[in-house]
Structure 1
Amino acid sequence: MGILTGGLPVLDNVQDAEAAPKRCTDMYGTPNRAPRLGSLPGFRAPGKYQWRTRGDTKRTYTYDNPRKALSGLEIPESGAAKRAFDQVKPNPDLYDNATPEHAWAYWKQNQRKPVKDRYPGSFNEYVNTLYVNGEGNSRRGVAYERENAQYFKLGGRDWYCQYSLREELPEIWAEIVEEITQEMIAEHGEQKGREEAKKVLKEDRRFDAYRNSRGQKIIYEFKSGREISRNQVLIDRAMAKRGYRVVYVFGREPTQPTQRLLRQYGMNWYQHRAVESGRFTPGVHTREDSAFNGPRNNCPAVQLNSVKVAAQAQPCRGRSSRGAANDMARGSGRSKEEAQRRAQARAKAPGAINRVRGPGGIDFSTMELRYITEPVKGKGMDYGFKAKLNEDEDNNPSWGGGEKIDLSSDAMFTWLALHPNRFWVNLNPDQPDQVTDDKLAKTDAGRVLLEADLQMKHDLAKIMVPDNPVGNRLWDSFRHVNGAPCWDTFRYFIEPYPAKVREEDGRLYILDAPMDVMAEKLKTSDSGKCEQPKEVQDHNFRKIQEIAILELEKTVNTAPAYADLRSVYTSRIAAEWIKQKDVKRPGDFHLIIGSDDATAWPSRTKWDRNKIYADYLKSYKEYDFHFKRKYEQDGAVLEFEFATGGVDFSKQPKPDNISKTEFQADHPDLPDTARQSSKSVVQYDGDPGTGYLGGNNYGATDGKDDEPRPTPTPTDAPAPAPTTSTPGGTEPSHDPQESDGDIADTGSDLPVGLITGIAAAVIAAGAALVWWIRRRKAAEG
């Protein structure tokens, strides 16, 4: 159609809004008989699946989205392409859909609008936010109608699809027009009321599915997205008053405003979460993504440890990573302002009522790698992230997804490439030359570990200050004899708590990856002297472990400040599993594994380990917090001044095995959720408020169902654990042999040797050197 509304592109070739209704059997090929009422939404018996279709996320419905092939299109700066762009006229009708000229024409048309109506972002942002998305919305909506009609078998002589209320039921339409007009007049007054009524009634009401026979008066509205128009609801309420059962079927859980609207008007809703998949043929203008795809940027081949390694055996073009995770991450924007601009445009794009969750609907700060498949040559590797869902994506969209997916990908390759004896960080006032390994210091993984170490020191100091409930409880629990309470200097460190994973059919599910904060006594050159009896010191140290350290552990596992640490940790788990599988069957990353060369994944964030160490040393010497408390000593009440500060170390983990029975009982929907996540964001019922988004590093996700993956051969014994290294050549404080490295069961429930040497790689450790300084003041009383 090639028209423009409000400065936004309108989809070409949308479904003809004036087409006469047809029997659903003729339109969608449904059975030539009516379905049982008990099988339909709105008629199901009370229970878990009264409001939701069982197993719906296993289903995929496809639609053509050819404009997506232009996701990497830009305005050319020179040469023949620039001359072609200059010749394009601002009239999309002159060009074929999904061609560069077509997209450029829309852009030029948009940019001729008054400044206030132009898209304010870049051309490529416009292409992905409006041009591609507008086409997807409309075609997705039509495809979702087909999916529901076919799944619920809306067939026979009495089920109609795209049924026009105005054309087919003119008398009822006239009655509803009068009812709504009078209702608006009563609410707004004569003039404004009629204006509001015209807005509600300006378009015909077409029902996606309709039946009125044999006492069955049913109307269905199918929405692939999460919203519905208030105008439709007002008309449908009038139909409900006439005895129709009106049911809305959403492809995703409706937004909170939509749910409130439906409750306000007493309307019923249902979810059928079949997963959409837009099909397109990648081309020279398709955005390429190097995430999880071998050496950065995929092409050309790079030198790793004296071996020239190409990311793929075939030419790189078309071999880049693709999937929902890549689309969401790259479309999220790099700033709050950019994310808001994109979100506002998506909300106004053509067919926005059918839009699914956009990039801003993912809380990227919580995104963690939780699913991978074995990187088998020729098939690539699937991957899936788990993240919290953001329910306010229009007003407060999330951003920074590109940085998050890059961090997870780079960290995984860093763990694959470097030797485990490089996986440590160390903030110790006595070891300024042993802050972290030289090669790890050139990566973002090393930065994350060291920054987390310093952050943890600050957090424990804050927790122990008696100006918060935990700190007060801690100090009230301390014992002391003739003077202030004290204890031996101690160090504290993070180590992986037994991780829960499941491996089966060449797939790894990382179910839970908590981190444990430990504390143990330590001596340094600056250790203060505690003169309290040993039993008092021991009691006080136990209280620090039971109260302060436990609170710090909660912080490490939940606080936003440690989100990157949690992200690189799950990438570490994935990397160790890949290594273990590669021993038996070399895969795409075989030449990278153990190369001890991570130069292909240098830090994307400029950082300096010496600067972090200097910040640590300043805090260590000058203390984070000062506070004073009074205690009796030698018959006088003295005021003691206390100060707090911190350091680092680590330990090897002992993961927990998950049996097949337990996995199926506790996570029945996870395999389908993870598998489908490459196509679209899939809400995960196993953890409310979260979803999975994934991809494939060969780009084998768009419109294609997964092929069966090879079932791994059960491993009879764990792989040998590499030696854990500690900075400065010192002996590890924990025996690496205490952990056998097992992490999961295979499909045959045999343990698989896995995360050996993981602790030093992932876990920042620290020693909180908490000592006391007393200053005698005049005795009171």
Structure 2
Amino acid sequence: MTQQILAARRPVWARAVLALAAAGVLTVTGLPGLPGDAAYAAKGKRCDSLPEVTATKPGTNDLPWDRNIHVRAPGDWDSYPFDAPRQTFDGLTLPGDAENPTEEQIKQRDAFLDKFDKPYTKYPENSEERAFARYKKYLADNQGKTPKYSTFSKWLSDGYILPHNNNKRGAAFETKVINDLGLVGEDWLCQEEIEIKDKDGKTIMVKDPKTGRMKPLVRKFDAVNYKTGQFLEFKAGPGRDTGQDFANQKFLEDPRFNNGKIAYVNGQSKDSATTKYLGRMADAYKDASGQSRVRAYEHVSTDIPRYKSVSYKNVPGSTLPDPNFAANGDNRAAGGAARTIGRSPATPLDMEKQLQRIGKNGASNFGVRGPGGVDFSTLDLSYVGKPVKGKGLPYAFSANRIQDESKDYGWGGKAKAQLISDSFFTWLALTPDKFWVNLNPDQPDTIMDKTFGKTDAGRVLLEADLQMKHDYAKDVDPRKDPGKKYWDAMQAAGLDCGDTIRLWITPKTAKVRADDDGLYILDTPLKVNVAHIERKTPDPNGTCTLTKAQQNTANNLLKQYIIPGVEQKVNTAPQYADLRRVYSARVAAEYVRQQDAQQASDYHSVINSGNVSRWPLRAPNAKWTPKKTWDEYMVSFTKGDYSYPCQFGGQQKMCVMGGVDFGKAPRRNVTRVEFQVEHPHLKKTTRIATQAQAESADNPKLALLGGGSESTGTGGGDNPTPTPAPTHTSTPTHQPTTSPTGHSPAPGHSTPAGGHTPPASPPTDEDQGGGLASTGTRVLGIAGIAAALLAAGTVLLWLKRRRTTGER
């Protein structure tokens, strides 16, 4: 093998002298030399001669796939950097750029591009001048055609930055695998090109798609070891280059390599097409001992782009900032969340067009999964770091990871992330006594706090309350389970009607881990509550009077048969996903409140300021009002969610109401031991996720993506010193009315006191589970939070049970 390497570096006449020696070596190691008088001469170079290869000691001859290991051990999952200078320009804009530009916009665009009158290669590499000049050439080359990229922004993202990043990423991943697995020494060659021959020793010829001429079929492997028969292909992403499929087949059929084995090493979990392809190949090609000659291995690693955040010289703007949780505006360079979410289209149709546009430049062949590989409908907040003045807030989202990029996923990410971030600021800016909503026919003027009603967090709570009423009404339907079982039990108890009740949603105790790294949000369950209430407004179904004992029986049956199903929907169903998102933001906000009270952060001027103008209702809900949802509720209350034949007036109606109360955010800080046992890799993965999208080592179904890490880039803008927030000491001016008018407080809730109470000192033993104070936050060092007045509604659940034929 040493002679092979020397031959690769000597003149052609010297290589010819060494050819037979090389063939002899191959024959001895089980890979026969070429038939005839010529042997194959290596064209690659030693892997340890590549730039940034630092490993000096060869690894074991038995690589992971030889030991039947197909996925890297989760504890070893890590990250690697790669140079991504073009990422600097992901915030670059072109004047007049538009999807369907007007004539005026076209003139504006062309006038700007005319300033770049030299070939793009004459401008400095990785400069905005070069990007503009290159786009100008792109437009010229597509004159009179329908261009692949309809706008400069799409060309910049998918045609200029992405392919360049993928090439850089691939080279960096190759270096990482070489270092990690010890593919060094004289036996390992990289970028090895092998000319494929048929069973008769003749070179296989194929047509060049570019020139139309015939050329030899060549298979280029990323790393080769002829002694051990290893032929490796590295892919930083989840896929493969389908253009190599034919060459793979012919290589495995080449008699010279009848013991050679191909191994695909992916940096991410493989997509289904690659998994199926490698499975078919593994079944089709086996050696004499019956072992497969095609193997797969996932060397899971997260790529982190290295680039600098800049302000542009030729146009206003700067490198794409991170808008999430940015206390002082968009003053941080984008992390993994902002970069991935920034490419998330608004609709499934836009997602489909983006995947078509990216094509072979996308994740399937070279790079990492794009937005289409993340299910943003499941996006939620999973971590916030300690807020440090002037350094922003590290954070991480979690979302379901999709094996294959699809038009059905990857869209809507911007709206989901913005909702979480806006809600976080809403919870900081308003005092907890504002965090209630109320749908009660007795109180059309007491739907929710006026300021809270100008935010998406408030909108989500009120709409979730109405959704709960609809779901409750469906589940109580006596024509099908669980309603049928409930009414059978009611009839067995001698009850023909239910109680007048209130339903409302409150947080259960959140499961978190707070330590020196920040707050890990592990579980944020919600609870559906039910209790008796008096109401003035007549029910359209009529009246029903029960004794206290009968009320208790009816409500206990509700809790047994109906409430669990409604609560499960609240905690898992897609229609409540936004509610779960804003609750996670609520938990994070309380943590930041506590940290800020100990040491002022960039959020100090926001806390209890009462000013939510920076986080208003967003499109498409910008014109939403609380009254709109209340009106929808009243239609449900007066006309019912559904009707069916029954004894009362020939028609029966179902109407429910309740509330959502986030005034409290109870949580339990799990112990260090519990955290390490249940989430052994979360800290490491989260640190990586603040810089780039990462796969969860604890839950392979999840992707983590975040931001706020200083190592993401140099960032742009300044961090102005915030003005101290005023201390709120007065009692809130608005107090929702209480019983007997129908707006009664929740059990255990008290009328809130105003103000931002500083936290108590943290417990001396950070790992004590302990009992929770009334707020459930003692273990996090937070003093009593002002309790919120429950927005409770009522329900007259009156059903005279009767089965009829022909029910629908």
Match of 2:719 in 1: none
Which residue is 2:275 aligned to?
259
Alignment of 1:606-645 (within 5 A): 606=622, 607-629=624-646, 641-645=652-656
8 A contact 1:251–1:273 mirrored in 2: yes
Aligned counterpart for 1:568 among listed residues 567, 582, 601 = 582
Tell me the CA shift for residue 573 of structure 1: 0.4
- On the 8 A contact 2:760/2:781 being kept in 1, the answer is yes
The farther-off stretch of 224-233 and 380-389 is 224-233
**Per-residue CA shift, 1:139-194, capped at 9, x if unaligned?**
1011100010011111111111111112xxx657985965x99xxxxxxxxxxx99
CA contact (8 A) 2:327 2:392 kept: no
Q: Within 2, Cα distance between the matches of 1:360 and 1:742?
A: 45
- Name the SS for the 2:420 alignment partner: helix
Contiguous gaps of at least 5 residues in structure 1: 1-17, 182-192, 299-318, 632-637, 705-719
Q: For residues 723 and 577 of structure 1, do their structure 2 counterparts lie closer, same or farther at Cα, with a shift above 3 Å needed? A: farther
Which secondary structure state, in structure 1, belongs to the residue aligned with residue 64 of structure 2? coil
Partner Cα separation in structure 2 for residue 435 and residue 644 of structure 1? 18
CA shift in 2, pair 1:743/1:401, >3 Å:
farther
Aligned to 2:747: 734
Q: CA deviation at 1:627?
A: 2.2
Which residue of the partner structure matches residue 518 of structure 2? 507
Q: Does 1:667 align with 2:696?
A: no
2:153 counterpart of 1:124: yes
Q: Secondary structure at the match of 1:644?
A: coil
Instruction: Name the structure 1 match of 2:321.
Output: 288
C-alpha contact 1:487 1:538 (8 A) present in aligned 2: no
2:766 corresponds to which letter in structure 1? Answer: S
Distance 1:613 1:287 in 2: 40
Tell me the distance in 2 between the aligned counterparts of 1:238 and 1:387.
41
Residue 320 (structure 1) aligned with residue 348 (structure 2): no
**Correspondence 1:154 to 2:183:** yes
In 1: Cα distance, 2:325 partner to 2:573 partner: 26
Shift of 1:760: 5.2
Give the Cα–Cα distance (whole angstroms) in 2 for the partners of residues 200 and 292 of structure 1.
Answer: 57
- For the pair 1:27 / 2:50, whether they are aligned, the reply is yes
What is the 5 A alignment of 1:391-402?
391-402=403-414
Distance 1:201 1:254, change over 3 A: farther
Distance 2:404 2:362 in 1: 20
1:473 deviates by: 2.7
User: Any idea what SS the aligned residue of 1:42 has?
Assistant: helix
8 A contact 2:262–2:295 mirrored in 1: yes
2:129 corresponds to which letter in structure 1? Answer: E
How far is 1:463 from its partner? 1.6
Counterpart residue number, 2:65? 42
* Pairing of 1:335-350 with structure 2 (within 5 A): 335-349=347-361
1:271 aligned partner? 298
User: Does the CA contact (< 8 Å) of 1:138 and 1:350 recur in 2?
Assistant: no
Shift of 1:130: 2.1
Question: Does residue 104 in structure 1 map to residue 124 in structure 2?
Answer: no
Instruction: Answer yes or no: is the 8 Å Cα contact 1:420–1:757 preserved in 2.
Output: yes
Q: 1:253 to 1:50 in 2, by over 3 A?
A: closer
Cα 1:703/1:488, change in 2 over 3 Å: same
Matched, 1:648 2:659: yes
The within-5 A match list for 1:336-735 is: 336-349=348-361, 353-479=365-491, 485-525=496-536, 526=538, 529-530=543-544, 537-604=551-618, 605-606=621-622, 607-629=624-646, 641-648=652-659, 650=661, 652-696=664-708, 700-702=711-713, 727-728=736-737, 732-735=745-748
**Does the CA-based 8 Å contact 1:262-1:268 persist in structure 2?**
yes
Going from structure 1 to structure 2, the CA distance change for 1:773 and 1:351 (only over 3 Å counts) comes to: closer
Structure 1 residues 394 and 176, CA gap change in structure 2 (3 angstroms)? farther
Partner SS state of residue 728, structure 1: coil
Instruction: Give the whole-Å Cα distance in 2 for the aligned partners of 1:593 and 1:146.
Output: 47
CA RMSD of aligned residues (A): 3.8
3-state SS, counterpart of residue 583 of structure 1: helix
Residue identity matched to 1:23: R
- Say whether the 8 Å CA contact 1:674–1:692 is kept in structure 2: yes
- C-alpha distance after superposition, 1:470-529 (max 9, x if no partner): 2233233322577x7212111111111221100122311000111111111112113654
Deviation at 1:464, TM superposition (A): 1.3
- Change in Cα spacing, 1:203 to 1:452, as seen in structure 2 (3 Å) is farther
Q: Which of the residues 54, 60, 68 maps onto 2:87? A: 68
Report the CA distance between 1:345 and its aligned residue: 2.0
Deviation (angstroms), 1:421: 1.2
Structure 2 CA distance for aligned equivalents of residues 591 and 618 of structure 1 = 42
- Report the equivalent of 2:222: 208
Amino acid at match of 1:770: L
SS at structure 2 position matched to 1:96 = coil
Kept after mapping to 1: 8 A contact 2:461/2:660: no
Q: Distance in 1 between matches of 2:794 and 2:347?
A: 36
Percent identity between the two aligned chains: 32
Distance 1:510 1:353, change over 3 A: same
Residues 73-111 of structure 1: per-residue CA shift (max 9 Å, x gap): 122259999755213369543433322233223333333
TM-score (norm 2): 0.78
- TM-score in terms of structure 1 length: 0.80
- Return 5+ residue gaps in structure 2 as ranges: 1-40, 97-104, 283-293, 312-317, 716-728, 769-778
2:544 corresponds to which letter in structure 1?
C
Q: Give the whole-Å Cα distance in 2 for the aligned partners of 1:262 and 1:724.
A: 68
CA distance in 1, matches of 2:560, 2:647: 24
The code of the aligned residue for 1:748 comes to E
| Aligned residue-pair number | 691
Summarize the Cα distance change of 1:105–1:176 in structure 2 as closer, same or farther, 3 Å threshold: farther
Does residue 164 of structure 2 align to residue 135 of structure 1? yes
Report the CA distance shift for 1:548/1:685 in structure 2 as closer, same or farther (over 3 A).
Answer: farther
SS at match of 2:114: helix
For residues 762 and 357 of structure 2, the distance between their equivalents in structure 1, rounded to whole angstroms, comes to 45
Cα distance in 2 for residues equivalent to 1:34 and 1:335: 50
Give the alignment partner of residue 72 of structure 2, picking from 26, 32, 52. 52
| Residues 240 and 274, structure 2, Cα contact 8 Å, conserved in 1 | yes
